[in-house]
């Protein structure tokens, strides 16, 4: 299938539907907050936004390796929109989910939503390549995607743990979510797990919206969002939330970082972004984060790869829109 895509061909519609229904069957068995325990010898690669950059995704997968019983992939939302191979990106990821449901994980991003897809290209691309009914099936599937993943080390931490926040069992664990934290204190992991997500769009407020839309800020406290949706949360907010929930750190995506990743909020909040040279003009590197069974992290950067002559947003309704989203 991947070679078929590289050759510029479209998958027959019946196979697209089989992949979508097969992946949906796996998503509906998962909680809104997935718990992923890294047993001894296992690793998990956390991948940020890829935004329809299929040829960069192939390069990325060559660096991470495919999912296996010793190696998980966790894609942290925004697989589609902007890049003009969003269908190929999402079908590849969903095929892995169908094949390896316990080793391939996908969080929903703010672009796995109808409103974003209408504006930033995925709706037009999906309809162009596979018809309106297929787009509706994609939109239906997006509402089944989990909203966050708790990646839990099962081995004791390696090295010093001074000031490191650990789980009640004394292990490291990371809250992986597309956007970030909340407009109020007191939200628990249990609250996230209980969110009713099926059939729902994130809307303009509430926990689901904030999980998908918020951003960190340098100043303490909370502030307005530059996006007009969600809020911005400061390092003190992150500290309190991690301490209250026994979380070693928040890993999120949602924003370009020139180095592909950035460690923020005194090490408690890390942004990872995996679309290098975003929309063919940002000049940034991509990155992914590898977590092992002791909770140690390793960061890998990579550069953009050439792609066929198709501009970003080729299927979008309103031309190239703001890069902030």
pLDDT at 268: 98
pLDDT at 318: 58
Domains of the chain, residue spans: 28-302
- Confidence band (pLDDT; 50, 70, 90) for 321? very low
Task: Give the integer Cα–Cα distance in Å for 210 and 110.
Answer: 10
- Of 124, 123, 150, which Cα lies nearest the Cα of 139? 123
pLDDT at 324: 37
- For residue 142, give Cα distances in angstroms to 30, 71, 103, 200, 233: 13, 24, 19, 9, 26
pLDDT at 134 over 90: yes
pLDDT averaged over every residue in the chain: 96
pTM (2 decimals)? 0.97
**What single-letter DSSP state applies at residue 284?**
P
Give the model confidence (pLDDT) of 234-282 as tens digits. 999 999 999 999 999 999 999 999 999 999 999 999 999 999 999 999 9
DSSP labels, 73-140: EEEES--SSSSTTHHHHHHHHHHHHHH-TTTEEEE--TTSSHHHHHHHSHHHHHHHHH-HHHHHHHHH
Give the model confidence (pLDDT) of 204-225 as tens digits. 999 999 999 999 999 999 999 9
Strand order in 71-76's β-sheet? Answer: 104-107, 71-76, 43-47, 286-292, 297-302
**Looking at the annotation, which residues are catalytic?**
111
pLDDT at 325 over 50: no
User: In CATH, which superfamily holds the domain spanning 28-302?
Assistant: Metallo-dependent phosphatases (3.60.21.10)
């Amino acid at each position: 299938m991947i070679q078929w895509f590289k050759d510029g061909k479209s998958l027959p519609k019946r196979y697209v539907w089989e992949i979508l229904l097969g992946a949906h069957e796996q998503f509906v068995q998962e909680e809104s907050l997935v718990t992923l325990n890294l047993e001894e010898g296992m690793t998990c690669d956390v991948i940020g936004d890829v935004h329809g950059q299929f040829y960069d995704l192939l390069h990325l997968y060559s660096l991470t390796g495919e999912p296996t019983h010793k190696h998980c992939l966790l894609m942290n939302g925004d697989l589609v929109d902007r890049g003009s191979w969003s269908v190929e990106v999402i079908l590849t990821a969903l095929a892995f989910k169908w094949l390896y449901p316990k080793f391939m994980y996908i969080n929903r991003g703010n672009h796995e939503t109808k409103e974003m897809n209408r504006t930033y290209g995925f709706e037009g691309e999906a309809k162009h390549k596979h018809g309106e009914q297929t787009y509706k099936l994609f939109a239906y599937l997006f509402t089944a995607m989990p909203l966050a993943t708790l990646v839990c080390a099962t081995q004791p931490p390696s090295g010093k743990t001074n000031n490191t926040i650990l789980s009640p069992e004394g292990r490291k664990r990371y809250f992986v979510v597309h956007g970030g934290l909340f407009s109020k204190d007191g939200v628990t992991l249990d609250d996230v797990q209980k969110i009713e997500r099926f059939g729902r769009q994130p809307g303009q407020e509430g926990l689901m919206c904030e999980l998908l839309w918020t951003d960190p800020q340098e100043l303490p406290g909370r502030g307005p969002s530059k996006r007009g949706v969600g809020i911005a949360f400061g390092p003190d907010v992150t500290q309190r939330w991690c301490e209250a929930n026994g979380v070693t750190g928040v890993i999120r995506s949602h924003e370009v970082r020139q180095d592909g990743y950035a460690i923020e909020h005194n090490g408690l909040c890390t942004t990872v972004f995996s679309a290098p040279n975003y929309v063919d003009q940002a000049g940034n590197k991509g990155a992914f984060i590898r977590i092992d069974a002791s909770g140690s992290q390793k960061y890998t950067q990579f550069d953009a790869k050439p792609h066929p002559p198709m501009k970003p947003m080729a299927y979008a309704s309103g031309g190239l829109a703001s890069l902030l989203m």
